[in-house]
Each structure stands twice: as C-alpha cells, then as structure tokens.
Amino acid sequence: MFKTIQTTCPYCGVGCGISAQVDALQHSVEIKGDKLHPANFGRLCSKGSALGDTVKLKGRLLQPIVHGQTSSWTAALDLVANTFKRTIDAYEPDSVAIYGSGQLLTEDYYVANKLMKGFIGSGNMDTNSRLCMSSSVSGHKRAFGSDTVPGCYEDFEHAELIVLIGSNAAWCHPVSFQRIRAAKERNPALKIIVIDPRKTASCDIADLHLPIASGRDAFLFNGLLQHLNQQGAVNSAYIEAHTEGFMDALQAANFTIAQVAGQCHLEIAAVRQFYDWFASVDKVMSLYSQGINQSSSGTDKVNAIINCHLATGRIGKPGMGPFSLTGQPNAMGGREVGGLANQLAAHMDFFNADDIDRVARFWGSQSIARKPGLAAVDLFDAIYAGKVKAVWIMGTNPVVSMPNADKVKHALQRCEFVVVSDCISNTDTTALAHVLLPAQGWSEKDGTVTNSERCISRQRALFTPAGDAQPDWWVITQVAQRMGFAQAFAYESPVDIFREHAALSGFENAGQRDFDISAFATITAHAYEKLQPTQWPVNQNHPEGTKRLFANGQFFTASGKAQFIAVKPCLPVNSLDAAYPLVLNTGRLRDQWHTMTRTALATKLNQHRPEPFVEIHPRDAEQFGLSHNGLARITSQWGQMLVRVRVTDSQKPGNLFVPMHWTEQYASQGRMGALVNPVFDPYSKQPESKHTPVNIKAYRPAWTGFMFSRSELNLNNIEYWVKINSNSVYRYELAGDTLPPDCLVWAKNLLHPTDQDDIHWQEYQDNGQGQYRVARIINQRLESLLFISTQRLLPERNWLSSLFAQPEITPAERKSLLLGLPPAGVPDVGAIICACFNVGAKTISAAIKERSLKTHQEVGQCLKAGTNCGSCIPEIKALL
Amino acid sequence: MKPRLVVIGNGMAGMRTIEELLTGAPDRYTITVFGAEPHGNYNRIMLSAVLSGDKTLEDIVINNRQWYVDNGIRLFAGEDKAVMRIDRKNRTVIARDGTLAAYDRLLIATGSKAVIPGVPGNTLEGVISFRDIVDVNKMLEYAARGQKAVVLGGGLLGLEAANGLVQRGMEVTVIHNHNILLNRQLDQHAAKMLQTELEQRGIKFQMAAKLKALQDDGNGHICAVRFEDDSELACDLFIAAIGVRPNMALAEAAGLYCERGIIVNDTLQTYDPGIYAVGECIQHRGQTFGLVAPLFEQAKVCANHLSEHGVAEYVTLPTATKLKVTGINLFSVGDFQGDASAETIQFTDAALGIYKKLVIKANRLIGAVLYGDTADGAWYQELLEKQENVSALRAVLIFGKAYV
C-alpha cells in the first residue's frame, strides 16, 4: 500500500519540497523532489535524496528515560514540570532555560517560546540558530527595522551578478547552487564571484574567486561602498528618498582599493575587478552565509553588505538584493516565533514596551518576561556557574556544536537538572541528561517550516510515531499544563497552534511589522492540511503571499527609511601568536548534516568524507611536518581535536579547515566545538566559529588500522577511532600508540572477546612489515575483520565493505579477503564520488579513458554520476 | 671403438644420468648397466601410490627392458647381477654371478639403504623397510590379512606408508620420536594440522615416543613393540622409516674416499677421476640426499661431464617437499623456521584447513611451508632459488602469484 505525501526536507534552509512515496507496512519511503515546490522544482541534494535511508528505527529513543531507567510519559512529564516549577519557586524564573533548535517545527517552537517567555516569565529561550544566522537577524533589524529577507530564489534567474560571500553553497545549499549553475548555463553573461578564504566547490562556477583573509569582509564591502560612490554608481535619489545615515557610513568606509587589498590579503586587480563588476550591473545579488554570520563582527559585516545595496537602491526588485542563505530548515520559523533569547514573539522585541504589553495581552499572561534572556554562550556559562539550574534542550547537540564545547559538556555535567528531547538515543548531549524525552523524527512530525525565502511549507508525517515518541508541541503543552498554565496551553493539534501564531502576527499589526501571516489566523484544519508553500507576509493585502519586500522603499524602522550603518571593520577577537599561529575555520560538508545523528545513518552519505579531517595548505603542511592522509592533533586554548590530514591548495596558507560534524558517537576526538573560541558578536551574540587561533602537530601513531564489524564495538582504549555506518556493517578507522605483543590475539579479542573457536577465524601477519589482519567468518558469512599496520600500509576499504552486504562470500573472495583486494579480474570502483548514484572514482576514471569523455555532462550520460544533486560535479571535473 | 661406460645401480639417479647423456651425446659410450632388482627402471618415489592402490607397478615403470635394447644398453638386472667388487686397477666390475664388465668411465649410483633401528628384535620376521617393490609386496601381503601395523618414523616415507596401509585396511600406528610430524619439513602449526587430518583418516600416533625393543611371538615373528616406559603395542608388521644411509660399501671397499657417503666434487667426480657417483650414495659438500629433485640435477651435471662438455657444476638448491597422500596438500621448502633476524609472513584459514608460512631474510624468501593450499609452491621455490628481492611483491606474496 503506497501513498504519496508532500513534505519538506529537514536539512538546510533551502527548504526543498519532497514527494515521499510511503510504504507504511515496510516502514520505507522512496524520496523524490517535489516538482511543484518553488524551492527546488523537483531537485534534491545528496542528503535529501538519502532521507529514505534515515527513517529506520535503529538508534531511536523510543521511551522516556528518567535517571537511566525507562519511564512512563506521565512520570517523566510530572518530574520535568515539578522540577522546573520548584526551581523557579526556589530561585527565580531566570534559573531555568530552554535551548531549542532550527530543526523544531514552527508550532513546537511557538509553544516552547510562549511557555518560557510568556508564562515562566524568563527570556531564557534560545536556540542553536544563535550559532547560525543571528548576525543576519541583527543586521536586518538594524538596516530594515525588521528581520526581513527582501528577495527570493527566483531572483537567481534574473540576476546579472551573484556574489557568494562566506558561503560554500555548492555543498551547504546544493539545490540553490544548482539553480544558480543552471541560470549561468542559460545565461553565460551572468557573473559569479565567490568571496571565501577557501577555494571551495562553489568556485567551480565562479568567474572570480577572492580568497579573502579570514574575518576581513567588512573592509572589502566598506571599500566597495567607497568605490561605488567614487565611480558615481550610487543611486542618490534612492538614498535621499528611502535611507538614512549614508554619509556616516561612507565616512567610516574611507579606504582605497590598495588599503582594502592589503587588509584582505587580496590582489589589487582582483578587488578592482570585483568592484567594477559590482558597479557595472544593476541586478546584483549578495548571497551570504556563515562566513559572514559566524564572526565577532558578523552583524557589522551583514550591514556592510546591505549598505552597498541600499547605496545603489538594489533591493526589493527582481534579480537584486542582499540574501541570507539560512542554515537550518526552520531557522526562519524560529525567528518568526521569537525563538532567540533577545526576541519576544512574532517579530516583536523586548526593547519595545508596547510589544511586551501587546504580547502579554494576546497571551493573557501576567508573568511575561520583560527583558532578553541569555544567548547560547552566556546561557551555558550561566549553567556552568550554577545560575541556571534546570535546562531543557530540544533537538540539538550543544556538547558538539557550541564553541568551547568541553566547557558546555562540563556545564551540563554539573547542572542539577538536564532534560533532553531528541529522537536519537545516543548523542553526546543525551549522555548527560537526567530526563530523556522521545521526540518524533522528521518522518513523523506534522507542522510547518519556513525557508530562506520566507516560504512556509508543510512538513507532514509519513509514518506513525515510533515507540512512545510524541510531538514536541504536545510534550511542551503537557509540561505547561502541569506547571499550572493549562488554559493558555489547551492545544490539541498543530493547526490550533498555527492559527494562534498567525493571529499573533496580525495582532494590532497595521503594517508596522513585516511578519504578518494573519491570513492564516482562521485557517481550517482541512486547509492547513492542504497548505501549499506560501511566502510571507500573507495577509489581507497579500492573500497569496509576497515574493519580495521593500520594492516601494518603505521599511519597518521608526522613520520608515532604511538605515545605513557606519561600519568600523574589526579583526577577529583572538589574534594569532607564536603558540597558536594558525586560523581555524569550521564548516559543513557536502554529505553530512550537523552532528550526524541522521545523515550518518545513510550508507551513501558516509563515503564522501568518512573521517573528521583538517584541510591545510601544502606550505603549512611542510612547515608543521604533516603528510597527506596522516593524522594531526589540533590544539587551541580551549581544547583539542585529532583528525586526518588533507593537504590541499584550496586552503589559504595559514588557515585550517575542519568539518563541524563529528561527535563522540562517531570519533574519539573529532568534536570541533572543543577547539572553537567562545567569543561572539556584541549585537547578535553569534559565536566566532570561523576564526580560532590554533596550533597543529603531527600525530604519529605506533599503528594504524581499520575494522569492520556487524555490531558496534567499544574502543575506549584506542587513541584514534572513527565509526562509519553503513547498511550492513560498522567500519572503524583506527590508530593507536601501543600494540600488544600478541597482536592477533588482541585483534580477535577486540572483534569478539568470547569467540575463541579457531574455525571462525582467518588470520594474516607479516611481522617484518608489521601487518596484522584477522577476519571472522561463520558459514561463509563475513562477520567482522580488522587490519592493522605499523607502517600505514593498508588497502582501500570499498571492496571489503561491499562483502558485508553479501549473505555469503565466494571462495575466491575468501582467498583474497585479508589481502584486501578483489580477486584477480574483479574491478575496484574506488572512492565514491557521486553519492546519489553510488559511482566511484575508479569507475569514472575508467569510463573517461575508455570512452574519451570530455565533459561532466558526458560522464553523466554515461554513468549518471553528477546528474541528480550535481554537488559532485567539481570532483568529476577534477577527474576529467 | 667407443669408450665404455659402466653404471652400478639401475635406479632413478643412475638412469636419469644415462637419459641425460643419451640426449646430449647419444653415441659417445658403449653403456653397461648393473641392477640388483630384476626389473627395468621404475619411479621409486611412486611406490606409495602403488601401496595405497592409486597406481600399479606398470604405471610407475620409467624404462622397461625394451628401452635398454632400443638404446643399445647392456642391462644386467637381478639379484645375481648385483655388483660385488670394483677392480679399479683393471678398471672392471664383477657381479655376484661372475659377470664382468670393463670400463673407461664408471658411474656409481648405488642409492641408499633404509636405517633399521638398533634395538633388540630388529631382525625378526615382519620387520621391514619401505624401499622397493619387494617391500611393497610384503606390505600388501600383510594388509590382505587385515592385521596391525606399526610404522616407525613420522617423516614423509613413514606417513606415506601409514596412509597406504590404512587404505589397505590395516590398523596403523605411527611412532615418532618428536612431537612434530615431518619435523624436517613442517613447523608446529602445519604439523598439527597434518596430524589432525591423518587421525581423521584413521591413523593413530604415538608422538615423542622412544622405542626400546621389538617383541618376538616365539616363532621368530614380531608381535609387539616395546617402548622406553615398557608399555607395549601389538603389531604384525613393523615398518622402519627413520631415514636412509648412503649405500657406499662397494666404493669404500674399492678404496674410494668416503665419509657418510661417497665424496664427490662439484662435477660429481669421486677421488678416482674415472669414477663418478650420483644419487643417494654420495656426499657433496657435506650433504647427503634423500629427495628426488637434487638427484635429477646431479644427473644433469654428471652427464654433462661424461659427455665431456665439462662446463656444469652441481649446486645443491633447497628442495621442496610434498607429501604424496591423496587429498593432503603440503609443501615445504628451504629454511621454514628462520632465525632471530628472519621475518615471517603467516596466513591461516582454519575452516578451510589452510596454513601458509613464508620466511624472509634480507628481503629474500628463504623458506616456505604451505598446508592445504599449495598452488603457489612452485612460485615460491622459484623466488627462493633465484634469490629474488621480494620487497615489491611483499604485500601480495602469501596470497599468490595471481595477485602480482
């Protein structure tokens, strides 16, 4: 019995529509892009395409757990409500906090925010969106008086110049990137400029790449403002009619191109080229992301960019404008409800007493919070200091993702009461919880999300909930009721909440607030169920939604005029020194999402970059004695990390890059958060995750190895381990300091401590070369294997991995098993390049050679590689 | 008139030399051959197969009498044609029946004799060795009565004999003075696998056992063996397979210099320049021989000198061993233990009964033991003989030539 359900992808902020063909009996789903959804028109990236592989129940949290024991919902909810209430009574409302996530649905977010700010009476509701785009929020508010993304995705197709700033959209927003790629293919006149210290995959389509020094973007855009003015490219009429503060901004931006180039470590000609192109065409889009936001001056950088658009009047019309590429599927929805600690609700704020009064009246609350709460870094510091005594973490993994993450870990360890709502049982954060509440996963949730272009889409349940998992809104509502707020939390379904959220957005809103979806205030359950993607505002004036804002030059500031901000460029807070001479940059990979709780479940997604790594320029690698594929320990003042080395000239000398994804569940020492400095932007409180001074040193283990096992193994005593999931087996990459004298015995014990029966084991050792290998085979079925080398001589893993997918191995395979190479005559596909169609590098190279393929399109026709999400096209091109 | 070549011994080494000679210099000599067995020339190493019933005597004949005729060779074969004396002064040999042959060149290929243990009762009826057709026929007689046999010696020959006898329906116990079977060919691991497999075939083992005496049944026939600890094991047939000793009595009596065997130089020449010797009767650079491969090499070198090409030199190369027991694949060559400076590569797959060990020294293969999968034995032997540097092959070495 199949049914097709339209829903929304749970990964990045592009917010792609999905058409899911669900087989409820088999608990399986076939994922396709929704051809009608305006965010993607049928396209999906590698992560979205693999969603079907992530809906399995393995690893799910299925029951409430209290102090390590399974519990009933009633008991767990009573405990949470009573403890929060008791804590508030004994201390004050600010002694408790909720830390949410851009993965929560708007309805969940709304009730969480309402509970904390409206009824508990504390501003301590913050979210991981703080780490993601809070600088954009601040920048938008300073410039526009509202947190408004003016444009939409369609503008990509109208633009004449697209500037990607601090955004590797090719990997982080692949479907939008493919849309830009397609626009450029259709219109070769469209110029693409990438501004990023790294030569990322996004540079594949760039006409110009500016490898800017880390954190210097404000110099570059101040210089641009100056240049636009000098070249007469500013729109004086627009400035006059619709803005304020231009002269101050210009004065602060008093740099020559040479000065800019010097500050940014760029070539003068390249800067000039960028400026000239920017000045020469009207339809310019500035797409920016974490490279701008995650900075101690992120808000200023956002404004430095917006300044240039205001000065040229390039905003609110097709093909132009600043455009924040949001990181999370519902970061925007979180902002709508007021999920950040400095927001109140529905784009209303604490600094406005009328807003507080208005929301209090709407909610019928006597105890509404009157000042902002603690933002993420401060919040966990307050937990550490014992000021916040009870915290409820929902759908996020701060022990991994926060800066100074070891301190966050200690904070939670010493916190009196930690509640974690999650759909995954074992995460670095659930490990520290007193109460675990089973949340519904993406495939079970029902509600709405809003993407980067203000488009509200439905996320619909594909399956009945697993185990005792409950919707987050229900759980929060239940706690609220038990805390004595039953009347204000009488919701029975998501649509009840959505209606109230919509009503609040329109409450006493005669156009003063941008966020207005009052058209949905009376939406029926049926209409909600059928709701089609709609861009806000959606109100009486715009019942079908709104593509673009600010076309009329009217802004949401007190004066109705947009504000230039005089930006004085700042360097990152912590500067390099002899002890920490390198800049650490962090970011996303193509095939992983956040802390891997979901993506790591999909075999395909674990092949692109199976291990945590550091990218380093060849010159630095030489200076620090690092070799490609070796291991290195990175240290900062705050923590350390042990990772694989990738030497690449895509990295700027003096800069390191590490992925943000690995956790203690998947690697012994792969949490990048431990390294990152806990400093943040004064306006947005967004941490400076893109710039931490670090040092790096080669780690030279006594041995390296890898292991495959059908069951998970405990590897506490091994210095370096990484776990890589696939359908039928866990793969571990290993390295260690000591190897016992009887290595094979040790190896067999590691794989299976109780199986001493010789008949199950195949063994190989070369004591002269320090090679030790064992495999456990039962009735021709491969159960586990371990390869160890003291000289880093190890075979590739692909073929060995494939053997675990087979019910039996053949005699020929058995014979060459511990060699690690396919039997003579069987080709090796090599490392997987195209995750969507599982096509390996060796297969692609062979086809290129045999069939004389010249372009990635030809490779695609031949092997399908690169024809779905397209994010592997740069790698295919590299093979060509 | 052509010079005369006389060969004492119609066995594998002597006749291989003649074959080589006929190939290289067919008309150089008038050839006379003396043999103590009344047959043509047969493949002695296939006697195990005859015993086990896998082959018949006809199957293992190399050269029948017609071959001698066809090649103009005078053959004196049989017990009364056994050579009794070499008269170096007159350059003649004399057989038991008085047959006399003069030579210009003499080739001694008298082979070896089985070692019979020096314990009381070693001359009893039913105490035999495993050297020739006569022995095989005797064993078959006992086997036909389905009695108990004891094989002394867990070497190649002993195990082949034991296997043959078990297949012929006898109850067989192998007595070995070591706790490792084939201890000159196998390490402990491989030996254990072999023992297990042979036990599954019905052969019993008394390992690390010391023989004290052979018991008389009162009629001059063996009825039991007695061990050092005075325990006894009943038997009707006792086969001594504890090695061979070069058969050098004739040479010694003729005044040729002998030690453990007839001493020869690198051209297989004895101390008498007119007399050559090959095979199990010789001692070359301190070494004596019991396997067929070096014998054939000696034959080649010796024929080269007899034909007066005079360029070849004999070098003893490590010899590979195989156990001729159907269904058991075993291969051993070179120094399979190695010393402290040697490195070993090992592979085992217990379920498949496979064990391989390669010993490497200074990047050269110096020894190999293969059990269960001997497909690459010849390759290893080649690498070992050529002393090739195996560094580049090392990763795949034990997995076989197919991966090179």
pLDDT in tens, chain B (404 residues): 899 999 999 999 999 999 999 998 889 999 999 999 888 788 888 888 899 888 888 888 889 999 999 999 999 999 999 999 999 999 999 999 999 999 999 999 999 999 999 999 999 999 999 988 899 999 999 999 878 999 999 998 999 999 999 999 999 999 999 999 999 889 999 999 999 999 999 999 999 999 999 999 999 999 999 999 999 999 999 999 999 999 999 999 999 999 999 999 999 999 999 999 999 999 999 999 988 889 999 999 999 999 988 889 999 887 777 777 777 888 999 898 888 889 999 999 999 999 999 999 999 999 999 999 988 988 998 999 889 899 999 999 999 988 88
List of residues 6+ apart from A696 with CB closer than 8 A = A582, A614, A616, A620, A624, A626, A632, A633, A634, A635, A656
Q: What integer pLDDT is reported at residue B317 of this predicted model?
A: 83
| Phi and psi angles of residue A807, each rounded to the nearest 5 degrees, phi first | -65, -30
- Asked if residues B302 and B276 have their Cβ atoms less than 8 Å apart, the reply is yes
Could you give the C-alpha distances from A141 to A277, A316, A349, B7, B358, in angstroms and in order?
28, 16, 11, 113, 75
Position A825 confidence tier, pLDDT thresholds 50, 70, 90: low
With CA atoms as reference, the chain A residue closest to B396 would be A819
In eight-state DSSP terms, residue A116 is I
Minimal CA separation from A760 to chain B, in Å: 7
The mean per-residue pLDDT over the stretch A497-518 comes to 96
Beta strands in B177-235 (DSSP E): 204-206, 211-216, 222-227, 232-234
Residues of B in contact with A769 (CB under 8 A): 343, 394-395
Listed range (A196-205, A343-352, A445-454, A597-606) with the worst mean pLDDT: A597-606
Q: Cβ–Cβ of B345/A766 closer than 8 Å?
A: yes
Position A320 confidence tier, pLDDT thresholds 50, 70, 90: very high
Amino acid occupying residue A254: N
Q: What integer pLDDT is reported at residue A18 of this predicted model?
A: 97
B343, B394, B399 member nearest A816 (Cβ): B399
Q: With a cut of 80, say whether residue A787 has pLDDT above it.
A: yes
Q: Enter the tokens of residue A124.
A: 């301590």
Position A758 confidence tier, pLDDT thresholds 50, 70, 90: confident
Q: How high is the mean pLDDT of chain A?
A: 94
Angle, CA A721 vertex, CA A717 and CA A725 arms, to 5°: 130
With CA atoms as reference, the chain A residue closest to B352 would be A759
pTM: 0.85
Minimal CA separation from A811 to chain B, in Å: 10
Predicted complex: ipTM over 0.95: no
| Phi and psi angles of residue A844, each rounded to the nearest 5 degrees, phi first | -65, -45
Q: With a cut of 90, say whether residue A873 has pLDDT above it.
A: no
**B208 in contact with A, Cβ within 8 Å:** no
In eight-state DSSP terms, residue A516 is -
With CA atoms as reference, the chain A residue closest to B397 would be A819
Provide the CA B163 distance to its chain's centre, in angstroms. Answer: 17
Q: With a cut of 90, say whether residue A856 has pLDDT above it.
A: no
**B343 in contact with A, Cβ within 8 Å:** yes
Q: Cβ–Cβ of B350/A821 closer than 8 Å?
A: no
| Phi and psi angles of residue B26, each rounded to the nearest 5 degrees, phi first | -60, -30
Q: Cβ–Cβ of A777/B351 closer than 8 Å?
A: yes
Listed range (A222-226, A231-235, A423-427, A833-837) with the worst mean pLDDT: A833-837
Position A823 confidence tier, pLDDT thresholds 50, 70, 90: confident
Residues of B in contact with A768 (CB under 8 A): 343-345, 360
Residues of A in contact with B343 (CB under 8 A): 766-769
Q: What integer pLDDT is reported at residue A826 of this predicted model?
A: 65
Position A122 confidence tier, pLDDT thresholds 50, 70, 90: very high
**B193 in contact with A, Cβ within 8 Å:** no
Cβ neighbours of B352 (radius 10 Å): 15
Q: Is A4 helix (H, G, I), strand (E, B) or coil?
A: strand
Query: Which stretches of A327-395 are DSSP H helices?
Result: 331-337, 353-363, 376-384
**A828 in contact with B, Cβ within 8 Å:** no
Minimal CA separation from A809 to chain B, in Å: 14
Among A166, A455, A152, residue whose Cα is nearest residue A302: A166
Cα four-point dihedral sign A29, A31, A34, A39? positive
Q: What integer pLDDT is reported at residue A547 of this predicted model?
A: 96
Q: Enter the tokens of residue B135.
A: 């022995």
Q: What integer pLDDT is reported at residue A145 of this predicted model?
A: 95
Position A498 confidence tier, pLDDT thresholds 50, 70, 90: very high
Which burial class, exposed, middle or buried, applies to A452 when counting CB atoms under 10 A from its CB (0-12, 13-18, 19+)? buried
Minimal CA separation from B336 to chain A, in Å: 14
Q: Enter the tokens of residue A575.
A: 């500067």
Radius of gyration (Cα) for chain B, nearest Å? 22
Q: How high is the mean pLDDT of chain B?
A: 92
The mean per-residue pLDDT over the stretch A18-23 comes to 95
Q: Is B20 helix (H, G, I), strand (E, B) or coil?
A: helix
pLDDT tens track for B337-351: 888 889 999 999 999
**B340 in contact with A, Cβ within 8 Å:** no
- For an interface test with B, give the residue of A743, A761, A766 to mutate (most B CBs within 10 A): A766
Q: What integer pLDDT is reported at residue A741 of this predicted model?
A: 87
Beta strands in A9-115 (DSSP E): 17-23, 28-33, 65-66, 69-70, 96-100
What span, in angstroms and rounded, lies between the C-alpha atoms of B39 and A739? Answer: 63
Q: Could you tell me the maximum CA-CA distance found in chain B, to the nearest angstrom?
A: 67
pLDDT tens track for A576-630: 999 999 999 999 998 898 988 888 888 888 888 899 999 999 999 999 999 999 9
Q: Is the peptide bond before A537 cis (omega within 30 degrees of 0)?
A: yes
Q: What integer pLDDT is reported at residue A1 of this predicted model?
A: 67
Q: What integer pLDDT is reported at residue A827 of this predicted model?
A: 67
**A821 in contact with B, Cβ within 8 Å:** yes
**B363 in contact with A, Cβ within 8 Å:** no
Among B13, B2, B8, residue whose Cα is nearest residue B290: B13
With CA atoms as reference, the chain B residue closest to A793 would be B395
